[in-house]
Every structure is written in C-alpha cells, then in structure tokens.
Amino acid sequence: MIRKAFVMKLLDNCYVEYKKRHDEIWPEMVKMLKEHGASNYSIFFDPSTHSLFGYLEIMDEEQWRKSAETLICQQWWTYMKEVMETNPDNSPVTISLQEVFFLK
C-alpha cells in the first residue's frame, strides 16, 4: 500500500460550494477513483489558510497516474476549477507532501 498526502487551496469564500460538490460527488467519479486503486481517501479543510489536505492510499503509482487521463476526471476538474486554485489544464494545483513519520 502506498500512502499519499497532498495540499491544495480553495479560493476565498468557496468552502460551502466545495463541500456541497463533494457531498454530491458523481457516482462515476467514485467508481473511477476505486478502479484506479484509491482507498481511504479523505480531504480536510483548514479555514485559516483555505488549504485542503488530502490523504489517500493506492496500490500502484502508474495505475493512479492514469486516473488523470480519464474523461470523468477531466470533467470533474473543469467542474471544480471555479472553487479552487487550478493549473492551465484545470487540474488542481497540488503540492505533494513527503512522509516523515508513520506509526503502524
């Protein structure tokens, strides 16, 4: 199992909409995430910085990388770009975090 953690950023005053969209996440998006090996996926919000902290577990980096190429993922990015910082391809600006401690 590979543990991944990352930080993203919401635009100001977009928390309620971001939360709503995830409360109503498309079933096709959930299916794609699971098909590409995602499990134990959580996103946390820090209101003082508008930062999102994501954590998920995957089985294979290459399989996970391919999730970004799916039509449903690209549609989700387009849907989410108005509430968070994004790259020119609409993917969220993401900073990967390096694990420094793990207690099993």
Dihedral sign from CA coordinates of 11, 13, 19, 25: negative
Q: Are 39 and 57 in contact (CB under 8 A)?
A: yes
Cα–Cα distance measured from residue 5 to residue 98, given in angstroms and rounded to the nearest whole number:
8
pLDDT digits (tens, 9 = 90+) for 39-49: 999 999 999 99
Average pLDDT, the chain: 97
Residues annotated as catalytic are: 22
The structural architecture, per CATH, of the domain 2-97 is 2-Layer Sandwich (3.30)
Cα–Cα distance measured from residue 92 to residue 27, given in angstroms and rounded to the nearest whole number:
20
Q: How many CB atoms lie within 10 A of CB 80?
A: 20
Over pLDDT 90: what percentage of the chain?
99
Q: Which two tokens stand for residue 9?
A: 């950023």
